[in-house]
Amino acid sequence: MRSRTPWPLVALAVAAVLLFALPLFGLLVRTPWSGLGEILGSEVARDALWLSLVTSLGATIVALILGLPLAWLLARIEFPGRALVRGLVLLPLVLPPVVGGAALLFTFGRRGLIGGPIDELTGLVLPFSTWGAVLAATFVAMPFLVITMEGALRNLDTRYEGAASTLGAGRWMVLRRVTLPLVAPSLAAGLVLTWARALGEFGATITFAGNLQGRTQTLPLAVFVALESDRDVAVALSLVMVAISLTVLVALRHRWWGAS
């Protein structure tokens, strides 16, 4: 028996699709196609593109170096306060990024909790520097890597690692030749997600690192500024972000929708 088409549901679903599709269409309609090359070649645009690339990749690398060990500990080791740590990892996902940025400022700012001592000891000032932009992006993006990898490591059959150790493999060789290759697909997905989140970061960056062209002004910040001054630039830069987002979706489609 065929079920009857539930028209009221279809109408609402179409409205939902339009909600996603129309803004994209609006952006494409408004795009100054002829001047696109010139706009994207401008100094402001090139600076923003370059900074976005540097800070998002920097944040991804820091997230990998710090987040992977954390994911491993959360997945494999029973320790007191594990639930608390897991909660802390999730916090940046639900916290408004602006609040995260403010928190970073009060902590790593020149007169912040540990920003002052860092400044005195090393002369490194994080706020309003490119390093600050990396830190802000890491803060909001690292949870994606930790969550993805904790799940992957938890689901990995530990008997593979056991078999490797009975064959004489030490901890490092087990990690390198068994654990990491087996979680490689998840690691790739986690890295892409982390990178995409870092690339789109706005609130924490503008609060903590400011909006200095060539130093902390990433693509989203440049779009925000350009909306006030030159709408064509804003649209062109937005289009770049859309293209990047679509690329990420295509790259990860198998993970989200299964093989198709």
Partner 1 sequence: MSGALQARIDVGFDADFRLDVEFDVPPGTTVALLGPNGAGKSTVVAALAGLVPIDRGRVVLDGVVLVDTEQGLALPAEERQVGVVFQDYVLFPHLSVVENVAFGLVARGAGRAAARRSARNALPEFGLDGLGDRKPAELSGGEAQRVALARALVTQPALLLLDEPLAALDVTTRADLRHLLSDHLADFSGPRILITHDPTEAFLLADEIYVIENGAVTQHGSAEDIRLRPQTPYAADLAGANLLVGEASDGLVTVASHRLAIADTAASGRVLATVHPRAISLHRRQPEGSPRNTWRTAIRRVEHYGDRVRIQVGDPLRLTAEVTPRAVDALGLSVGDSVWVSIKATEISASPE
Contacts to partner 1 by CB under 8 A: 157, 159-160, 162-170, 173, 177-178, 181-182
HSE value, Cβ hemisphere, 13 Å, CA-based, for 110 = 6
For residue 193, how many other CB atoms are within 10 A of its CB? 20
Distance of CA 221 to the CA centre of its chain: 15
d(CA 112, CA 118): 10
- First and final CA of the chain: distance in angstroms? 27
Number of Cβ within 10 Å of residue 224's Cβ equals 15
- For residue 186, the Cα-to-chain-centroid distance in whole angstroms is 15
Rg (alpha carbons) of the chain, rounded to whole number: 22
C-alpha to C-alpha distance for 136 and 134, rounded to whole angstroms: 5
- Closest distance of CB 183 from partner 1, Å: 10
Cα(201)–Cα(61) distance, rounded to whole angstroms? 16
**φ and ψ at residue 197, rounded to 5 degrees:** -65, -40
Q: What single-letter DSSP state applies at residue 3? A: P
